[in-house]
Structure formats: structure tokens, C-alpha cells
Amino acid sequence: MVPPPPLPPQTAVVSAWLLLKAFSNGCTALTGVEAVSNGVQAFREPVVKTAQRTLTAIVSILTVLVAGIAYLVRTYHIGATPPGEPGYESVLSQLTGAVAGKGAFYYVTIGSILLVLAFQANTAFADFPRVCRAVAQDGYLPYSFASRGRRLVYSHGIYVLAFLCGFLLILFGGVTDRLIPLFAVGAFLAFTLSQAGMVAHWKRQGGRRSRSSMFVNALGATATATTVVVVSVAKFAEGAWLTTLLIAGVTAPKLVVLNSPYRFVINPILDYILEIEEKNPDREIAVLVPELVVQRWYHYFLHNQRAALLKALLLLKGNQRIIVIDVPWYLSS
């Protein structure tokens, strides 16, 4: 048994701010259970029942572990030490040393924790590419994110996530206490949006059962939205500022429907592009033009050539700030 370092004297009284920070710390400990819902398709039949049992088991185990750690920490008078400073030791390391000493069992336990964290990081590399694939299929990411690589995984999503992870580790010095709030804001915001989407789904479906389900999802959306606000405020200076800044800086795509009373197709599109180019003299305008790809050369004459005409007019009337991107549309598919 190795006694933990003495706790510093209490310098803060219980206040609303301290309770908010404790609440945000507890919420960040709950992130990760969403991996079950993201990977439902990987479960065996019956898919829904198996996923529900798995999620129940994870929540039960998490509850027991958190309650046990809280009890032992209070019993052995263990406190967190400032990360990134000399003499830093995690709470789990102090707890293991206080209970079993720093012998073979200590190193086996710490090694097991390292493996668990490595497997936990793997869930992001399994789920993030799937999310990118779904977004790409809706047209909000390049379609390459929806294509499988040589190892039958969505390679582009994995490459992007690996780059972002490395960048964040360097930016925050590898201190997990600064990275967890960064993740928690995005995770609980995703929970809020998904729950709100389910409310809209049940509202469209209607019926008595839908009303009860809509109430449950509305309650969940309210709880997770409250968590987003609390974590953003309490952990803003510790890393949540980056996610908050990125969320505020990303604008949602806007769908514009061009009216054409005389069934003209090329002219309204061309006028709209030139108008956007004139209103934004300091930006480049990217125009994605779907172009038909046929199986036989003589099929070419059976279809209109509006894409080629639009590109030609953009070349004549546009300028170097208008970029035309061809998107092949295979007729056979």
C-alpha cells in the first residue's frame, strides 16, 4: 500500500459554479455509450434487442465503477493533481497504489487501463467514417468519403480523423483533461440534435404511442441541451472554447430554388452564378456540374447537352474566380 499525497487545503466553498463544474465532470464521464447506437448494424439478430442489452450492460458496469471509485477515493482521501505539472499522478494510479501497492498488480492494472483507453479510441475510428459516409451520401461532404478503400473500410474518414487527432494532441499537449471537454461538447450536441430529430419524427408519425415516445425524446433533448450549455460554460477555458468556436463558425448549406416560368434551365442558373460572383468579389465560386456518362458512344445523341452548354457559357461570361467541377453521373447505375 502506497499512501497518496496529502490533499491541499480547501480553498473554495460549495457554490453554484463548483456544482456546475462537478456536473460537467460527471457528464464527460458518461460519453462513449453512444458507440452502441452508432454501431447497431454490427450486432447480430435481433439487432435492436441485442443493442439494448449491450447498452444496459455498459450503463450498469459504468454505474458500478463510478460509484466504487467515488467511495474508495473518499475512503483513502485521494484527490486529483494538476495535469501537466511535475509530480502529476492520475486518480486511478493513486487509487490502485493505495489499495494494492505499486507491485506487479499495480502495473497489470495500469496496463489494462491503457488497453481499455486504446480500444475506446478505436470506437471513434470505427464510427466517424460511417458518419462521414452518411453525410457524404446526403451531399454535404465529398463523395470519396462514401467509398470503401482497399481494406473495405472508409479510408478517407480514417485519414481525416487521424490527422485531426494528431493536431489536437499537439495543440493541447496531450493533456486529456483539456481534450475531454472538447469532445463532450460535440458529443452532447450530437445527442441533442438526434433527440430533437426523433421528436420531429414522432410528431410526423402521430398516434398514441408516438406521443409517449415524443415525450421521452423531448425530455432527453432538454437534458442533453442543458448539459451542452453547462459543459460549455464550466469547461470553456479548459478546451471547450475550440468546439464552441467551430460550431459558431460553420454555416449550414442553403438550398435555393430558381424559378423558371418559361422552362429555361441554363439562363437562370447562369444569371444566379454571375450574381453570386458579383456580390462576392473576394471569394472563389465553385460550380458543380453533373455530366452524364453513357455506356455507348451513340447514347450521347439521345440526351441533351445542357451540362456542356452551361460550362461553355461560364467560360465565356465568367472569370478566373469561377471554378467548374465536373461530377460524373453514370447512367448505368
Mean pLDDT calculated for residue range 301-305: 78
- The answer to whether 226 touches 219, Cβ cutoff 8 Å, is no
Q: Please state which of the ranges 4-13, 77-86, 229-238, 290-299 shows the lowest mean pLDDT.
A: 4-13
- Report whether the peptide linkage leading into residue 46 is cis, meaning its omega lies within 30 degrees of zero: yes
Rounded distance between C-alpha atoms, residue 29 and residue 312, angstroms: 57
Mean pLDDT calculated for residue range 219-232: 84
pLDDT digits (tens, 9 = 90+) for 14-49: 677 777 777 767 776 676 677 777 677 778 888 888
Q: What are the φ and ψ backbone dihedral angles of 222, each rounded to 5 degrees?
A: -65, -45
Q: Of 264, 263, 287, nearest to 275 (Cα)? A: 287
Mean pLDDT calculated for residue range 227-237: 76
Rounded distance between C-alpha atoms, residue 184 and residue 233, angstroms: 12
SS3 sequence of 87-121: CCCCHHHHHHHHHHCCCHHHHHHHHHHHHHHHHHH
pLDDT digits (tens, 9 = 90+) for 175-187: 777 777 777 777 7
| Residue 8: pLDDT band with limits 50, 70, 90 | low
Question: What residue type is assigned to position 103 of the chain?
Answer: G
Rounded distance between C-alpha atoms, residue 167 and residue 161, angstroms: 10
| Residue 112: pLDDT band with limits 50, 70, 90 | very high
- Exposed, middle or buried by CB within 10 Å (0-12, 13-18, 19+), for 178? buried
Question: What residue type is assigned to position 74 of the chain?
Answer: R
Rounded distance between C-alpha atoms, residue 108 and residue 248, angstroms: 44
Cell of 101: 501497492
Rounded distance between C-alpha atoms, residue 184 and residue 230, angstroms: 11
| Residue 188: pLDDT band with limits 50, 70, 90 | confident
- Exposed, middle or buried by CB within 10 Å (0-12, 13-18, 19+), for 282? exposed
pLDDT > 90 fraction of the chain, expressed in percent and rounded: 5
pLDDT digits (tens, 9 = 90+) for 154-169: 888 889 989 988 888 8
What's the pLDDT at 309?
87
Annotate 246-260 with DSSP letters as a single string. HHHHPPPP---PPP-
Mean pLDDT calculated for residue range 121-131: 81
Q: Where are the alpha helices (DSSP H) in 5-87?
A: 16-30, 34-38, 47-76
Q: Which residues contact 330 (CB under 8 A, 6 or more apart)?
A: 293
Q: Of 164, 128, 163, 124, nearest to 145 (Cα)? A: 128
Q: Which residues contact 97 (CB under 8 A, 6 or more apart)?
A: 1, 2, 4, 106
pLDDT digits (tens, 9 = 90+) for 246-288: 666 766 667 788 888 777 888 888 888 888 888 888 888 888 8
Q: Is residue 11's pLDDT more than 60?
A: no
What's the pLDDT at 111?
93
pLDDT digits (tens, 9 = 90+) for 98-111: 888 888 999 999 99
- The answer to whether 256 touches 272, Cβ cutoff 8 Å, is yes
Rounded distance between C-alpha atoms, residue 176 and residue 173, angstroms: 9
Average per-residue pLDDT for the chain: 81
Look up the pTM and report it: 0.57
What's the pLDDT at 42?
77
Cell of 314: 461560364
> C-alpha angle 286/288/293, rounded to 5°?
150
Question: What residue type is assigned to position 141 of the chain?
Answer: L
- The answer to whether 236 touches 244, Cβ cutoff 8 Å, is yes
Question: What residue type is assigned to position 236 of the chain?
Answer: F
